[in-house]
Amino acid sequence: MKKTVQELAVLLGGTVIGKGDAVIEDVKGLAEAGLQDITFAVDPYTEYLPQVHAGAVIVEKEVPAGDNTLVVVENPRLAFSQLLVLFHPRQSVTPGIHPTAIIDGSASIGEDVAIMPYAVIGKNVEIGKGSTIYPYVFLGDNVKIGKGSVLYPGAVIHENCVLGKNAVIRAHAVIGGEGFGFATEKGKHTR
């Protein structure tokens, strides 16, 4: 995707200071941004802008910026997140259950749920409407997943855990695992 700095400023409700006709092809972090990229900076990092060589930098006020074009907005972090979605839209997920998923017959699956390959769903699990279960997720017995939740690949939710609506569990996270270690008395270990 290619957009001019001015087009992006209009989208963000911002003001351009510099080259509005510069073409932007991607969003990157402050240290990685090049001439075809847009990034953002908030205090105290704005003092480093003269050393940055980005196509444009989103800021909340005019600051010394070397040869960088600025896009001044109210909330640079929010503006940057909007551009992340524009340049890198989230993967589209189609509801349905992949044939390699292993789902206990007692599980309750809400409407518009996507369960991807090799997910394992235990007994009496409830998955709320519109949730997404990525590959290799494990849901132990009696787990409840609130509507609109997303569990990324390899997440493990141990038995009896309850996640509220719109929960986001990142890849390989473990919820409900034993976290307190063992108590030892007379050579015997107790969980």
Domain-located, residue 21? yes
Pairwise CA distance, residues 44 & 146, whole Å:
39
- For the segment 45-84, what is each residue's pLDDT rounded down to a tens digit? 899 899 999 999 999 998 888 889 999 999 999 999 999 9
Tokens of 25: 């092809």
- For the segment 84-127, what is each residue's pLDDT rounded down to a tens digit? 999 998 778 999 999 999 999 999 999 999 999 999 999 999 99
Pairwise CA distance, residues 153 & 191, whole Å:
28
Q: Indicate the pLDDT class of residue 165, thresholds 50, 70 and 90.
A: very high
9 with 80, same domain? Answer: yes
77 with 100, same domain? Answer: no
170 with 117, same domain? Answer: yes
Q: Is 5 helix (H, G, I), strand (E, B) or coil?
A: helix
pLDDT for residue 126: 98
Tokens of 115: 């369960």
100 with 78, same domain? Answer: no
41 with 102, same domain? Answer: no
- For the segment 3-17, what is each residue's pLDDT rounded down to a tens digit? 999 999 999 999 999
107 with 78, same domain? Answer: no
List strand residue ranges (DSSP E) for 1-85, in order: 3-4, 15-17, 23-24, 26-27, 37-40, 56-59, 70-72
CATH number, position 16: 3.40.1390.10
Total number of domains in the chain: 2
64 with 112, same domain? Answer: no
Domain-located, residue 19? yes
37 with 102, same domain? Answer: no
Indicate left, alpha or beta for 18 from its phi (over 0: left) and psi (-120 to 50: alpha).
left
Burial class (CB in 10 A: 0-12, 13-18, 19+), 177: exposed
Which residue range(s) make up the domain with 66?
Answer: 3-87
pLDDT for residue 109: 98
